[in-house]
Chain A
Amino acid sequence: MVVEEFRSFSDWLLNDGALLTFVFVTVICAVSGLLLGFVVSSFRHGPGEAFYAVSQTVFQAVPDLFGMKFRRIWAIARLAIKENFRLFVVTLAIFVAALAIAGWFIGGGGKNPERSYVAFLFFAAQVLISIFAVLVSAFSLPNDILSKTIYTVVTKPVRASEIVLGRFVGFAVIGTVLLAIVGGLSYVFMVRGIDHTHELSEEITVDKWLPIVDGFTPDGRRPFDPRAAFESSVFTTRNNDHVHRLAIIQLPNGAFDVVADETAGHTHDVEVVESDPVTQHPKMVRFGPPRGNLRARQPIYSSPRGDLAALTLTDETGSPATGVNVGEVWDYHKYIQGGTQSTATFRFSGLTPSKFSNADQVNLDLNLAVFRTHIGDLRRRIEAEIELRNVVDVAETETAQVKSVKIPFETEEFKVQTLTIPRKLKNGTIRAVGQPDRTNQELDFFEDLATNGELDLIVRCIDQKQYVGVARASIYFHAGDTSFGWNYVRGFLGIWAQMLAIIALSIALSTFLKGPVVLISSVGVVVFGYSANFIVFVANSVLSTDKLANMWGGGPSEALYRLVTQMNLQHPLPPGLGTEILKFVDKQLLLPGLKSLSFAVPRFENFNLANYLAYGYTIDNQLLLINLLTAFTFAAGMMVIGYFCFKTREIAAA
């Protein structure tokens, strides 16, 4: 899976400026709120009275905050739940209908059907819950005010803060229940959709087992399992839009083990039911349920060590380098040249036996890219090798350098390739200062190599003039798997966090806007949040003084001008006052304004954690924490704004 950002919670909060942004936005909001309140009040009561009115509003917030009673909040929440129950049912019905139609689009075929399932289900849930959240919260308060039923509430001994928070709690509860049902249904839908078994399409006779000669099957294929001694020309029945092929692996004791190939992201356990009495070749087999597609791998990625980056590269002379760009638009993989001194060094920490589900053999997952500069031997994949080294503390000169034997392997591009490293590694080398090298040593992975949990892993490409591409997430130690179901719940927590943010936003807007306006505004803010990364990207590129970084097409008003006049992006704008005005509006007003606003709105796309599930990785706790805190903070901020707006609103005037 592609992981482009490795952020811990503390990094995000302190180093990446999340806390600073929060403080900054809070101060700006507070100051502008006070100013706005003062100006509006000045028009109503005059400047002198306005000062007292604003002060009074601010100071009354303290008892309103601390005097809140859960009983009253819950009473309002229950009301909110009751009045939206019908919408709840309708939304649920729509989701069920969407699931029914989804069956038309999502099949079991393709390379990884679970990815299609997860992508669709999360997208559908996210869209539906967002619409539900906006609809329930946008019209509630404005409708109450319009129909004057709000009087029955505000005339009771209930605080404005309780009215605002009560609605939030009510909507959050009904939304959470809806999300839980949607999550449950979609999980069952996915598991049922993926679950299947197969039968043999025809009986396997002895001649259907084709021997592997020189590493290839008679029809020119590379066997799907490198250990295979025979491959079958018989397929399983086509279920869930795919089939599997079988291979025989001859075990050291002479017995036969049958394996099914990995198709559509999974394989099946195969049990031999009947064998040929003479040759012992399997004739009838039974297939188990699918294995391998609903996973939650727990990766241990490389991490920075002191001043050293998590991943460093060297060029063909062995000097530090940034890696070769082989001409890809996406600058994710950095390439190292084969047959030279070019290497990629991954630095790992925290590799202790307790972290691995099976410490006797450590799984190393690789997801490398490959680039050929010449065709070479097409039947062979590009070869690379890894080497494990302990970390030598420069201060302690007595520490010996311990190196494993170089482990060669054929790369498998765009696949998660697992190399199993036994805990006891043979043929290692120990080099101590002032002593001859000790070769052919048996090394213990944890005691000799990953001493104190720290380890360096060096990757080289063996084939000359060919390249292997690496990124930080390309190689990781696979500690084990967690429960997919639990991971699914964590994925839905992201959607839940988004829902809370949207509900709070709509409630805050509904305290001073009418229902339809709230609806449009909320959708606008959500779209803005989704596009925030793009907006910042455009703003940075247009505002940059570096001409090379400038994007074609300029800012929003320039883009609009080009769109209307059908002018292409490269064509310079006609010189004149109009162009100057356009550029001024873009560079001085719109882009800086939009960029600043983008910091006040959550990046909604970050709440979708479906990729982790789709590619079979455990959702990182730190990431989940970041999402939840972002949503809670935004919701709290919106509640405060909502409270003040509601408090200062003249209900009777509505």
Chain B
Amino acid sequence: MNFAPSHYRKAIYGILAAILLVPISFLARPNQISKDPNQAGEATGGTISQLRSEHNLSQASLSSIDPTSEVMKLASMGLHGIAVNVLWNQANAYQEKKAFDKVSGTVDTLVLLQPNFISVWEFQGHNLAYNISREFDDYQDRYFWVKEGLNFFTKGVAYNRRDHRIYDNLGLHTGIKFGVSDEKKQFRQILRKDREYVDTFISKFINPELFDRPEAGGFDSWMLSYWWYDKSYHMRENLGVPKRTSDLMYWVKGPQQLRQYAESLSVDFRPGEATRRAWRTAYEAWTDRDPISDRQGFGKRDITTSFGAVIRLEDLERQVEFQQGIARRMDELAPGVRQEITKEKVARLSPMDQQILNMPEAERQYKEMMEMVRIEMDIRVYEQEVAARAPAENRVKADNLLRELADGEFLVSQMDSYRYTVNYNYWRDVTNMESTVPGVLARQAAYEAAELVRQGILESYEEEVTDENGVTSLVKRDGAIDALTRYFQHTSDALKPYPGLHDGESTLIEDLMQEFTKFNAHLKDVGREWPDDFPMQWFIDERVRRYGRANIKNLMTTQDIEARKREAGLLEEKSDQTDQSDQTDQSDQTDQTDQR
């Protein structure tokens, strides 16, 4: 085969290259800035540019253009995917060999190559703040690496202007690492005064005054995490950034941080009015409107469920009421039918079941309560049953009501299940209860009791106090047992209005049961018995009635107390009798002596 001379060959190559430029230009022509204001923002480039603009994938719409990142990507000549793989493996190898500063450097380079892939930020940020931080023995080193992880996330903000997940991660990691980890006490203590860190890194994003809380002694980690989430909310609500996570788990975060903040104030410091206000804020942000950011409260947020329905958690009660209204309308369409069906179903119950049903609720014990769940299911009257017996002229209306009812029931079940997922009712009641005066007084008493226990003062004592006039007098000071008694009294007052909090195995109940046990132990330590007038005796009795004796372990019920009293009474009677007989014996002896 004869080849053309090299210059001919080169000319052909040149022509071919020029021809190829035409489709390339058609496909890859960049966007041009239009001078016509009417066309501003419209994609005017090639097909690829238009597609990028359409899907918000252009670099300018994703992030600010970073020359370093662009140079890196260019320098890797389209092989940045491979380069990322190599760097990722390198980072892993460094981590395995505990060369953590190299890990940090490597991931910094890695994200320049893939700045818009959010999982890289999420994984590596978490890796720095969690995995690497915990490798260090000294909590101050751990603190440093947690900050490194958080700083890593902050670098990702500029690269991902259309993605709220960087802020979500900042909120999550700030909250959990500073507020929940083993070293939370030390971390939070250091952060409170870490002005250098705040001024240098955080202040670029959040005004430090927002989380510098006098009542928390300085910068508070929970408030910081709250404001990170608020940045994310701002993106969603004010900048129209598309959502990337489920509504429920997204909107719950902000109010959750406020609740944690109130909780930490209650534990770390002596609770007072500031604590009560913090709980109130948490309650409002949970149910109605966030008074700090003036955003919609969690309960009032529109939440799209996995079935596509839009619900608001706070609407459940209203929806249930609506359902009941439908039931009433059904009764109007079929007067007396419901009672009739109920009567029939009750009649079908066994005598034993009927006996339980007729028993007053307060007298039902654990076993009867369990049975009642089944009995209630058995005698429940379904709307379909009522509609089926409605008079013929109302049948169509009744069917329409049934359809309305079905739609409503679906919403109720969705709201119920979503509430259950986030423990909505529980936290609503807890925040509400904690924001009452008895709630705060209870916290105060608990704080004082813990402090007295730490000092080893269990019983009250008298202290000499000299006043301004130099007069010395004895003042009675509480011991831990007195403080705990006060705690139980206030808790009792606070808890009574919230029957939902008395049930189940919540952390609140768990904490209370622990406090009972500790109280019992302290009483034994000083040789005292369980008091007859224990302020929360009603609660203990209720637990026994609902869940059985095993639930309260070795605590005393009212029955136990009464038995103890009876026993004491008998003993007294007995001792009285013994005394009398002794006296009789003695007098007999005296008589005998006299006789002798």
Contacts and interface: CB of A to CB of B under 8 A. Distances in A.
A381 B138 contact: yes
Interface stretch (B9-17, B104-112, B353-361): B104-112
Interface string A356-377: 0000000000000110100100
Interface stretch (A26-34, A217-225, A626-634): A217-225
Contacts of A65: none
A101 B70 CA distance: 12
Contact of B186 (A115, A243, A329, A379): A379
A329 B131 CA distance: 14
Given A219-B192, A221-B190, A238-B200, A2 B101 contact: no
Given A115-B102, A243-B196, A378-B183, A413 B96 contact: no
A414 B189 contact: no
Contacts of B200: 238, 243
A104 B185 CA distance: 37
A107 to B, nearest CB: 9
A412 B137 CA distance: 8
A110 B141 CA distance: 12
A385 to B, nearest CB: 16
A414 B193 contact: no
B109 A105 contact: yes
Nearest to A2: B97
Interface in B87-125: 96-102, 104-105, 108-109
Interface in A86-113: 101, 104-105, 110-112
A115 B192 contact: no
A104 B99 CA distance: 22
A220 B141 CA distance: 14
Nearest to A201: B196
A349 interface: no
Contacts of B189: 219-220
Contacts of A369: 98
Contacts of B190: 219-221
A332 interface: yes
B101 A411 contact: no
B139 interface: yes
B54 interface: no
B182 A378 contact: yes
Nearest to A372: B137
A330 B98 contact: yes
A115 B103 CA distance: 12
Interface in B182-206: 182-183, 185-186, 189-190, 192-194, 196, 200
A463 to B, nearest CB: 11
Contacts of A372: 137
Given A219-B193, A220-B190, A372-B137, A330 B96 contact: yes
Contacts of B97: 2, 330, 332
A116 interface: yes
Nearest to A368: B137
Contact of B140 (A221, A235, A375): A221
A382 interface: yes
B71 interface: yes
A444 B533 CA distance: 74
B68 interface: yes
A266 B68 CA distance: 28
Interface residues of A, number: 33
Contacts of B144: 111
Contacts of B98: 2, 330, 369, 414
Contacts of A206: none
Contact of B102 (A119, A220, A243, A382): A119
Interface string B415-458: 00000000000000000000000000000000000000000000
A233 interface: yes
B136 interface: yes
A652 B261 CA distance: 87
A414 B104 contact: no
B448 to A, nearest CB: 23
Interface string A410-451: 011110000000000000000000000000000000000000
B186 A110 contact: no
B137 A411 contact: yes
A332 B98 CA distance: 10
A110 B139 CA distance: 17
Contacts of A329: 96
Contacts of A110: 101, 104-105
Interface in A182-239: 219-222, 233, 235, 238
A112 B109 CA distance: 16
B68 A414 contact: no
A231 to B, nearest CB: 11
Interface string A255-294: 0000000000000000000000000000000000000000
A220 B178 CA distance: 14
Nearest to A243: B196
A322 to B, nearest CB: 20
A378 B139 contact: yes
Nearest to A333: B98
A372 B183 CA distance: 14
B109 A413 contact: no
Contacts of B68: 101, 104-105
Contact of A414 (B100, B109, B185): B100
Interface string B134-168: 01111111001000000000000000000000000
Contacts of B139: 378-379
Nearest to A370: B137
Contacts of B96: 329-330
Interface string B199-215: 01000000000000000
Contacts of B196: 235, 243
A116 B193 contact: no
B208 to A, nearest CB: 15
A222 B140 contact: yes
A115 B136 contact: no
A111 B108 CA distance: 14
Contact of A101 (B71, B105, B109, B192): B71
Contact of B105 (A116, A219, A221): A116
A414 B186 contact: no
A194 to B, nearest CB: 15
A233 B199 CA distance: 14
Interface string A375-398: 100110110000000000000000
B105 A414 contact: no
Contacts of A233: 193
Contacts of A104: 67-68, 71
A597 B286 CA distance: 69
Nearest to B194: A219
A412 B140 contact: no
Contacts of B135: 413-414
Nearest to A98: B75
Contacts of A381: 137-138
Interface in A120-165: none
Contacts of A413: 135-138, 141
Contacts of B186: 220, 378-379
A309 to B, nearest CB: 22
A414 B145 CA distance: 13
A178 to B, nearest CB: 21
A220 B138 CA distance: 13
Nearest to A107: B108
B140 to A, nearest CB: 6
B137 A105 contact: no
Contacts of B137: 370, 372, 381-382, 411-413
28 contacts: A2-B97, A2-B99, A101-B68, A105-B109, A110-B101, A111-B101, A111-B144, A115-B105, A219-B189, A219-B190, A219-B192, A220-B185, A220-B189, A221-B140, A222-B140, A243-B196, A330-B97, A369-B98, A370-B137, A372-B137, A375-B182, A378-B139, A378-B186, A379-B186, A381-B137, A413-B135, A413-B141, A414-B98
- Can you list the 3 inter-chain pairs with the closest CB atoms, starting with the nearest? A220-B189, A219-B193, A370-B137
Given A101-B68, A233-B193, 5 more contacts: A105-B68, A219-B192, A222-B140, A243-B200, A414-B98
